[in-house]
Structure 1
């Protein structure tokens, strides 16, 4: 989190350790910066306070984003432990035990396994065409033959959020037409950098469409700037006799045959407003999404907007 008063008349005196006592959503480096920012923050403080009252619920309860899912008692940690996925693989940052840090992203490349049995995750293509009206988690789980008790939604909400944004923008005629190719600019990725394999699900949600996703953000290590990741298949389950386990062979065969991947990701370290102009010279995005946009907590969003 940045000092909410950053960019004022005086430079920051240190890290932002002084939180607003009312909303707890923004922090300041000093009392002076808090006082100088008071008039600007006053307009947002009450709204942020109401949102922050639900923060603990959102962190602990696995399915607060869907009323249809089974209500599982206990914390998110205990839920993940029951499934044997606590602090492992793509799930490593899905609870409060481990914070999201740059070191996680620096060391990690593509983690390709769900660490779940095949009946709990979409490790292969769908058995039927995508429904025309796919608007709820229940619709999606039934289509992908997954029980609502599956924790897969905790990771799938990244590609499903992208899908829903495109679906709504299309309904409102806000999106340029696309047929064979879809280009997405994805702003502010954080823990999803450890879960990139789940974006392979977009090949099921947009069948026959080549999806390009450019991810921009300061959480991306500079060592990974311009890194390209091709997703030729879905994230794998942990059943050794499942057909998805052969994807490593088909992956190599597809490269040798010069076949293109269904989803291509490219990482860009830094802020969007610093590097988007160069990228726009080659292609223009159909849509820009920012799932982690803490606009009130990070002053760096203002130039991006």
Structure 2
């Protein structure tokens, strides 16, 4: 978390350890910065309070990792994906952060054989209730020894959040289009092709996902990425290899895609109103 008044014109005096006592959603480096940001935060504080009241609901997430018998590094090394491609930030020994990595080439491959990853659409409709990785792996015909859950938990978190919001009537009914604000992405920025799995989770729905956070480099601010299919496996004979690129940056708007990602550098409270205005114009 960064100081909410970081861009207010004066430098921060330390780490953001002073939280807003009402919403607990934003923090400041000092009382001076909190006072400086008070008028701007006042407009958002009540909305943040309502969101934070439901934070514990998402903590009850059913898709949790199983225990592996050795370290994550050795586990990934046995599968040949240690520090490779989208797996490069999946352990601490690489010393690479998403913000420092060279993003000139977008990574779109699982670097796994087809039997270990969902590189194509499901063979059957999504079950009414998915409550565990076992359920999910069986549906997608993935062996339970696959490390796919390490990356798939990003799209499955979105799936679970929308499930809960729908059950509690917090989300308006949607038919063929859904817009999502995804806050605070980190290593997901190196794993964006994984969000193509949302095509299986929300069949027939066009998804627009705005990823917002300070970890997004300024050079990527406003970048648009269209996901046209699933992340590919590394089997050259697999049908996923003959399809179009898994995802394209700044793609031709004539290209049909199920999922559109857009990156926004900075803090959510600074661009929330702009995001709503864009969504309203596109309705």
Same fold (TM over 0.5): yes
Q: 1:94 to 1:209 in 2, by over 3 A?
A: same
Residue aligning to 1:138? 134
Q: 1:81 to 1:251 in 2, by over 3 A?
A: closer
- Pick which of 147-156 and 255-264 moved more: 255-264
Q: 1:120 to 1:91 in 2, by over 3 A?
A: same
Partner secondary structure for residue 68 of structure 2: coil
1:108 and 1:194 in contact (8 A); partners too: no
**Does 2:180 correspond to 1:184?**
yes
Partner secondary structure for residue 267 of structure 1: strand
| Mapping for residues 24-63 of structure 1, pairs under 5 Å | none
Partner secondary structure for residue 276 of structure 1: helix
Alpha-carbon offset, residue 251 of structure 1: 7.9
Q: Deviations over 1:1-28 (max 9, x none)?
A: 658xx9xxx9755679xxxxxxxxxxxx
1:159 and 1:202 in contact (8 A); partners too: yes
Partner secondary structure for residue 210 of structure 2: strand
Q: 1:250 to 1:283 in 2, by over 3 A?
A: closer
Residue aligning to 2:64? 65
Q: Which runs of 5+ in 2 are unaligned?
A: 17-28, 30-62
Separation in 2, partners of 1:179, 1:123: 26
| Mapping for residues 97-112 of structure 1, pairs under 5 Å | 97=93, 98-104=95-101, 106-112=102-108
| Mapping for residues 117-266 of structure 1, pairs under 5 Å | 117-248=113-244, 258-266=254-262
Residue aligning to 1:281? 277
Partner secondary structure for residue 137 of structure 2: helix
Alpha-carbon offset, residue 72 of structure 1: 2.7
1:120 and 1:150 in contact (8 A); partners too: yes
Partner secondary structure for residue 235 of structure 2: coil
Partner secondary structure for residue 185 of structure 1: strand
Taking CA–CA contacts closer than 8 Å with sequence separation of 6 or more, which of the two structures ends up with the larger relative contact order?
1
Q: Deviations over 1:11-63 (max 9, x none)?
A: 755679xxxxxxxxxxxx9xxxxxxxxxxxxxxxxxxxxxxxxxxxxxxxxxx
Alpha-carbon offset, residue 260 of structure 1: 1.9
Q: Which runs of 5+ in 1 are unaligned?
A: 17-28, 30-63, 285-305
Partner secondary structure for residue 111 of structure 1: coil
Separation in 2, partners of 1:76, 1:256: 39
Q: 1:15 to 1:136 in 2, by over 3 A?
A: closer
1:109 and 1:194 in contact (8 A); partners too: no
Aligned Cα RMSD in Å?
A: 3.0
1:230 and 1:263 in contact (8 A); partners too: yes
2:193 and 2:247 in contact (8 A); partners too: no
Q: Deviations over 1:85-109 (max 9, x none)?
A: 00010000000112425221x5354
Separation in 1, partners of 2:223, 2:128: 35
